[in-house]
Amino acid sequence: MRPPRADRPPIWTARFVSLFLINFVITFAQFMTLVLVPKLASSLGASSLMVGVVAGVFAVTALAVRPAVGWTTLVVRHNYLLAGTVGLILVAFVMYGLSDSVPVLIGARLLHGAAMGFLAPVTLAMASEALPPSRMAQGIGTFSLGQALSTALGPSVGLWMLASVGYRTSFFIGAGVMLVSAIMALRLSSPPAQRPRDVRFRWSSFIASEALLPAAVMFFLAGAFSGVNTFIVLYGEARGVEEIGLFFAAYALFIVLSRPLAGALGDARGLSIVIIPGMVVFAISFVLIANVDSLAGFLLAGAVSALGYGICQPAVQTWALTSVEPDRRGLASNTNYIGVDLGYLIMPIVGGWIVAADVNTGASTQAAYSMMYLTFIVPVAVGLILFLLSRRHRPPRRTLAPTAP
């Protein structure tokens, strides 16, 4: 086997592989609970409204802990922080398994959401530490493949485990996997914490101002994408399409195919060559979704959506990470995910309001969902405009990649 070229240091180092596996396992468990927790809440007697509350409270606590995340990444070694975060998820899974009432289930969701609020920024920051600067965009795209695979596999495996062993055993198995992941996290290498003299809790201790614009772009992109995840099954059912879950499989497949190539292109030619076409394609996917009426149409729309959001999302994350010095990437990652969390919280509400308003004016359910998806082109367009405007005032990238975005 030939050694890597000096100008192309490897991405798949032992440290990166370990972190990739840990992130995949945890996000896999997260997507598994996406289908198990609502069903468990319903089995415990929760109304439809309360099922929604149980699901949504997760995002509330994930956002609520963001102010503490950036500050914590400065004063706690990242591998210890990751292990502690996974430990909290382990406790949440045990609580899921022991839940015999809706309040206990809500408590588990609150804890799980808080842990996930720490997890994404910490793992993204650690991934950037493990990657060579000259291949940052490709590496971040590769790292995010684990989440794409989890999206496709987690819900199906969760339903299979429920049918095979029931709720309690399924969650306890998940807790066991979290224990193994926590031990693996402790064994990861990570730079020592800065331990600065001034560790007061200030705005600059949890927000990287340089990453606010990428976070704003992510707010619009992630918010539009959350509309796909939240309503696509209901929309498919309204269209009379069976096996609508295959939409996510098509999405995951094209994520796996496109992200490594897009990342390599971003490193070689600059992020603009990825982000701008990606946003345009993502906007086109909403036109397709709004007009499909068959499973084949939904699969095509899923593929196009993956090519759009799937390639520009890690590129925008790379933009955020490379906007700051390496020792502040935890702050930049946290700032990025504040935008993501806000998008996930706000845009589904906006989408639901659009559907309800259209139905109340006499539109059919199908037509209401179609109008909603067409409307989601607007936030994508706003994100694109922000990115184009930012190119005039952006400082040089803090990376060794040949070309600035």
Contact 241, 347 (CB under 8 A): no
Give pLDDT < 70 ranges for the chain. Answer: 1-7, 47-49, 51-52, 55-56, 70, 152, 193-206, 392-405
Number of helices followed by number of strands (H, E) in the chain: 14, 0
Which sequence spans correspond to the domains of the chain?
Answer: 11-189, 207-392
Quote the Cα angle for 233-46-44, to 5°.
105
Residue given tokens 């796996």 in the structure block:
256
- How many other C-beta atoms lie within 10 A of the C-beta of residue 2? 4
Q: Do domains 11-189 and 207-392 have the same CATH topology?
A: yes
| Backbone conformation region of residue 363, classed left if phi is above 0, alpha if psi is from -120 to 50, else beta | beta
pLDDT at 93: 94
Q: Which of 190, 189, 161 is nearest to 177 (CA)?
A: 161
Q: What confidence score (pLDDT) does residue 56 get? A: 67
Q: What is the pLDDT of residue 295?
A: 92
pLDDT at 3: 52
Q: Give the pLDDT of residue 169.
A: 93
pLDDT of residue 204: 62
The three-state DSSP-derived secondary structure of 341-383 is: HHHHHHHHHHHHHHHHHHHHCCCCHHHHHHHHHHHCHHHHHHH
At what angle are helices 365-375 and 329-360 packed, to 10 degrees?
150
Alpha-carbon distance values, 98 to 40, 56, 86, 95, 171 (Å) = 11, 20, 19, 5, 9
Residue 395 per-residue DSSP state: P
C-alpha radius of gyration, the chain, whole number: 21
The DSSP result for 169-230, as a single string, is: HHHHHHHHHHHHHHHHHHHS--PPP---S-----GGGT--GGGHHHHHHHHHHHHHHHHHHH
Is the distance from CB of 256 to CB of 348 less than 8 angstroms?
A: no
In 3D space, the residue among 134, 372, 76 whose CA is nearest the CA of residue 263 turns out to be 134
Gap between the Cα atoms of 119 and 18, Å rounded: 15
| Domain 207-392 class, CATH top level | mainly alpha
pLDDT value, residue 202: 64
How many Å apart are CA 221 and CA 305, to the nearest integer? 11
pLDDT reported for residue 132? 85
Residue 240 gets which letter from DSSP? Answer: T
Taking the C-alpha atoms of residue 79 and residue 26, their distance in angstroms, rounded to an integer, is: 15
> How would CATH label the architecture of 11-189?
Up-down Bundle (1.20)
Q: How far is CA 108 from CA 89, 278, 279, 320, 352, in A?
A: 9, 37, 36, 31, 26
d(CA 45, CA 43): 5
